[in-house]
């Protein structure tokens, strides 16, 4: 470990603000590009499942409505 | 009626585009007018000091030429797409590569060539030294031809879209950058008395490459747009 | 050999195999990213010239490298779609564009943040930075063109043509911007030059580059899976999947 204390790690001889901003933004962007397709996929499957259920409901009990 | 030879077919295409343009002089006048007006904007924005204007003149003139080319590119295939004659062209037995080149040549004749010919006037308004005017015209002649070819790619890809106007600039402007760099560098070199030949040679090389490759991309783009 | 290509064209097979690849590649990627970041942030000595700000290199360089490589992946996928009319190549091309744009954005942003303490300015019209900016425009152009078409098959082909045109242009743009910059280079900014990098700094950098390549692959596969489901929504296998997901 290069840094002696947490404070030193956060400060990084005055460069801490830059380094940490860069890393935080990068992690945020990575999180977005990883989560976005998963959300899209899950949302799509849920929507399709709902549609299928409605269709089945219509087919099995047409007299309900 | 027998089919005309390819050369005659292309010559007729060019002639047809030119006749269409001459019948609507405002279409020819618009880019030139745009050029003149934007030239008038720069002294208002940058201040009228002649020395300062002269330093920026090569870049200013080239950027305006690029923008007016971009604005006219959108319309190269538009009217022919709307009235269906583009579809006929795609069905004709003539090689699409050459007929597309004819379209681009016509576009260059009514925008790039005219722009290059009137540019000395605007160059003098921006205090560009007289020694650089020859190379300005030469670089514009070569450069606008490349711009027309690249603009044709964007036009072919967006011709079927309703709102292609803004999109085409996003697609095509990154491709324009090398031409802008070497075009304005040629004029700057002439201002400082450095040899202009290498820059013009590079522009010529870009033109050769663009003539070889761009019509293929344009042809592919037109096929896609017609199919859509 | 040929059966492999036939399988590659089959959406359910691709969906299944990409799922089983992701099951181990995704955790491995996240592990490598975290390990590389911790290594770079905590366990390396600061650069003797730039101090601690150089630690940004561990995200800046990998993002830039993979952003550029991603463009070639996108353009080649587009070419495969145009030549062999492979639908899966179209899916891959569409999936690659937003990831590439995001990575280019990371590279530009971290570069700007790195530039402030190192050169004293957020932005320099340096050859590499300018080329990366143009790369971002090229990516965004592909995304915008795809969205503009209603007919998605035509959209894929149009984007393929555009990305191939871009691929021919990238070296020309890079060379001309490089040349333009060397002509105008202001004397106030000194670049560190191609000094040999110390192994203690090189190993975490290599790890991060590998991790970013893996990240690109993961995101590509995940985007492709989402797109596959959307395109195949009328087929039986997707319906079965949806029913399973609906119950679960």
Chain C hits for A54, Cβ within 8 Å: none
From C110, which residue of chain A is nearest by alpha-carbon distance?
Answer: A22
Mean pLDDT, chain B, whole residue set = 87
Write out the DSSP string of A31-55. HHHHHHHHHHHHHHHHHHHHHHHHH
Backbone angles phi, psi at C44, to 5 degrees: -115, 150
Q: Label residue C72 by pLDDT band (50, 70, 90).
A: very high
From A26, which residue of chain C is nearest by alpha-carbon distance?
Answer: C106
From C163, which residue of chain B is nearest by alpha-carbon distance?
Answer: B171
C-beta atoms of C106 and A26 within 8 A: yes
Chains C and A touch (3+ CB pairs under 8 A): yes
What separation in angstroms does the CA of B32 have from each of B76, B146, C222, C246? 17, 19, 50, 63
pLDDT at C193 over 60: no
Percentage with pLDDT > 70 across chain C: 90
State the SS3 of C210-242: HHHHHHHHHHHHHHHHHHHHHHCCCCHHHHHHH
Q: Does residue B182 sit within a domain?
A: yes
Considering its fold, how many domains does chain B have in total?
1
Closest Cβ opposite residue B174 in set C141, C145, C179: C141
Question: What is the per-residue pLDDT for A63?
Answer: 46
Comparing C86 with B201, the larger pLDDT belongs to B201
Chain C hits for A23, Cβ within 8 Å: 37, 41, 56, 59
**Among B65, B68, B160, which Cα is nearest to B116's?**
B65
pLDDT in tens, B134-154: 899 999 999 999 999 999 999
Interface pTM, i.e. ipTM: 0.86
CA dist., res. B140 & res. C127, Å (int) = 24
- Return the SS3 of B75: coil
Which residue in C136, C148, C151, C177 has the most chain B C-beta atoms within 10 A of its own C-beta, making it the best mutation to test that interface? C148
C155 touches chain A (CB under 8 A): no
CA dist., res. B93 & res. B83, Å (int) = 20
Mean pLDDT, chain C, whole residue set = 84
CA distance B86 to chain C (A): 17
Chain B hits for C165, Cβ within 8 Å: 153, 175, 217
pLDDT in tens, B77-86: 888 888 888 8
Average confidence (pLDDT) over B156-160: 89
Q: Does residue B168 sit within a domain?
A: yes
Closest Cβ opposite residue C161 in set B161, B177, B220: B220
Question: What is the per-residue pLDDT for C55?
Answer: 83
Closest Cβ opposite residue C134 in set B174, B182, B220: B174
pLDDT at A64 over 80: no
Q: Which of residues 166-185 of B touch C (CB under 8 A)?
A: 167, 170-171, 173-175, 177-178, 181-182, 185
C-beta atoms of B182 and C176 within 8 A: yes
pLDDT in tens, C131-166: 889 999 999 999 999 988 888 888 999 999 999 999
Q: Does residue B81 sit within a domain?
A: yes
C107 touches chain A (CB under 8 A): no
pLDDT at A29 over 80: yes
Chain B hits for C182, Cβ within 8 Å: none
Q: Does residue B1 sit within a domain?
A: no
Give the structural domain span for B187: 6-227
End-to-end CA distance of chain A: 70
Whether residue B79 contacts residue B107, with contact meaning beta carbons closer than 8 Å, is answered with: no
Comparing C106 with C45, the larger pLDDT belongs to C106
Average confidence (pLDDT) over B199-207: 93
Q: Which of B87-91, C119-123, C193-197 has the lowest mean pLDDT?
A: C193-197
Whether residue C220 contacts residue C99, with contact meaning beta carbons closer than 8 Å, is answered with: yes
Q: Which of residues 195-224 of B touch C (CB under 8 A)?
A: 206, 213, 217, 220-221, 224
C-beta atoms of A38 and C41 within 8 A: no
Q: Does residue B13 sit within a domain?
A: yes
C-beta atoms of B178 and C183 within 8 A: no
pLDDT in tens, B31-46: 888 888 888 888 888 8
């Amino acid at each position: 470990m290069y840094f002696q204390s947490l404070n030193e790690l956060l400060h990084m001889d005055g460069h801490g603000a830059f380094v940490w901003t860069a890393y935080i933004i990068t992690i945020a962007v990575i999180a977005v590009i990883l989560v976005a397709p998963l959300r899209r996929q899950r949302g799509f499957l849920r929507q399709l499942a709902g549609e299928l259920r409605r269709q089945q409901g219509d087919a099995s009990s047409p007299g309900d409505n | 009626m027998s089919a005309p030879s390819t050369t005659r077919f292309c010559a007729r295409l060019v002639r047809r585009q030119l006749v269409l343009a001459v019948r609507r002089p405002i279409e020819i006048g618009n880019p030139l007018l745009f050029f003149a007006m934007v030239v008038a904007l720069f002294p208002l924005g940058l201040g009228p000091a002649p020395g300062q204007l002269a330093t920026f003149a090569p870049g200013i003139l080239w950027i305006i030429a690029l923008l007016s080319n971009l604005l006219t590119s959108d319309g190269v295939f538009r009217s022919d797409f709307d009235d269906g004659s583009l579809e006929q062209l795609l069905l004709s037995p003539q090689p699409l590569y050459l007929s597309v080149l004819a379209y681009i040549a016509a576009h260059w004749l009514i925008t790039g060539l005219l722009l290059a010919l009137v540019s000395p006037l605007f160059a003098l308004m921006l205090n560009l030294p007289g020694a650089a005017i020859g190379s300005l015209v030469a670089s514009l002649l070569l450069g606008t031809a490349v711009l027309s070819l690249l603009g044709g790619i964007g036009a072919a890809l967006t011709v079927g879209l309703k709102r292609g106007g803004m999109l085409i600039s996003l697609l095509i402007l990154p491709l324009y950058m090398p031409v802008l760099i070497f075009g304005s560098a040629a004029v700057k070199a002439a201002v400082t008395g450095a040899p202009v030949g290498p820059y013009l040679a590079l522009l010529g090389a870009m033109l050769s490459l663009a003539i070889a490759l761009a019509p293929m991309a344009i042809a592919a783009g037109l096929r896609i747009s017609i199919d859509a | 050999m040929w059966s492999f290509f036939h399988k590659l064209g089959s959406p359910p097979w691709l969906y299944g195999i990409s799922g089983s690849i992701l099951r181990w590649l995704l955790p491995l990627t996240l592990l490598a990213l975290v390990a590389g970041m911790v290594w770079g942030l905590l366990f390396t000595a600061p650069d003797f010239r730039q101090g601690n700000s150089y630690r940004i290199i561990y995200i800046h360089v990998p993002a830039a490298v993979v952003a550029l490589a991603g463009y070639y992946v996108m353009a080649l996928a587009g070419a495969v779609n145009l030549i062999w009319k492979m639908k899966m190549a179209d899916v891959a091309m569409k999936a690659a564009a937003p990831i590439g744009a995001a990575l280019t954005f990371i590279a530009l942003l971290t570069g700007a943040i790195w530039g402030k303490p190192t050169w004293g300015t957020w932005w320099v019209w340096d050859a590499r930075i300018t080329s990366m900016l143009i790369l971002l425009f090229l990516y965004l152009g592909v995304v915008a063109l795809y969205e503009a078409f209603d007919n998605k098959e035509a959209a894929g082909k149009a984007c393929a043509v555009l990305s191939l045109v871009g691929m021919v242009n990238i070296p020309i743009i890079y060379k001309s911007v490089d040349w333009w910059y060397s002509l105008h280079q202001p004397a106030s900014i000194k670049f560190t030059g191609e000094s040999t990098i110390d192994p203690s700094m090189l190993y975490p950098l290599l790890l991060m580059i590998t991790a970013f390549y893996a990240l690109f692959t993961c995101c590509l596969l995940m985007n492709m899976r989402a797109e596959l489901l959307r395109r195949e929504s009328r087929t039986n296998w997707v319906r079965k999947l949806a029913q399973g997901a609906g119950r679960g």
